[in-house]
A and B are shown apart, each in its own frame.
Chain A
Amino acid sequence: GEEVAQTPKHLVRGEGQKAKLYCAPIKGHSYVFWYQQVLKNEFKFLISFQNENVFDETGMPKERFSAKCLPNSPCSLEIQATKLEDSAVYFCASKQTSNSNQPQHFGDGTRLSIL
């Protein structure tokens, strides 16, 4: 597609439940990035992929968070045993190549609310 598509738009989970978020990058884009935005504060980088391979996972919490980008499927970000502090908007972005002057294109985000 022409846009980064994130689903669902809103996700509500009780504390301790699992949450799974999806991202379809723009067609032809090889790089996918996940960011977390808590309470309209700055974006925090989580993880990036080059095709189905993890490119940089330095921002991923060591526990509970995992992500995948499998061929012919949307990328996913999964949070196990959610906590109140996981409440945030999760943005996905994609980029065509590694060229430095290319911008990342963002999806509309998934708002995750943990109750």
Chain B
Amino acid sequence: GQNIDQPTEMTATEGAIVQINCTYQTSGFNGLFWYQQHAGEAPTFLSYNVLDGLEEKGRFSSFLSRSKGYSYLLLKELQMKDSASYLCAVRDQHTDKLIFGTGTRLQVFP
């Protein structure tokens, strides 16, 4: 079966660091994506991991451990505009479709 778990909600303070975890159990794996989605808007691509390790992109970093079925998204120097839902999605090995978790709604407070 396919199962992707993320915390439903998180809160953090402006300027802080937050880590959003994602665990997955899927029948196949060919990469993991993180997307950001503001309310009423399209999801926008943040990062992609297919090999173990850390990928850094400015304030955002993403980590993957395939043996543990685990990824996290790290957001540094939080800004108010980072308040959004963060979606973890696993790429299906054979068909390219994305299998999504429920998303983590992050609220950043001043």
Contacts and interface: CB of A to CB of B under 8 A. Distances in A.
Contacts, number: 61
A43 B100 contact: yes
A98 B87 contact: no
B50 interface: yes
Given A4-B42, A105-B45, A106-B42, A100 B97 contact: no
B97 A59 contact: yes
Nearest to B88: A42
B43 A33 contact: no
Interface in A58-89: 58-59
Chain A interface size, under 10 / 10 to 19 / 20 to 34 / 35 or more: 20 to 34
B48 interface: yes
Contact of B48 (A103, A108, A109): A103
Interface of A: 4, 31, 33, 35, 40-43, 45, 48, 55-56, 58-59, 91, 95, 98, 100-101, 103-109
Given A33-B98, A98-B96, A106-B43, 7 more contacts: A45-B99, A48-B96, A55-B96, A56-B97, A91-B42, A100-B50, A108-B40
22 contacts: A4-B42, A33-B98, A35-B98, A42-B4, A43-B100, A45-B99, A48-B95, A55-B96, A56-B95, A56-B97, A58-B95, A91-B42, A98-B96, A100-B30, A100-B50, A100-B96, A101-B31, A103-B48, A104-B98, A106-B35, A106-B44, A108-B42
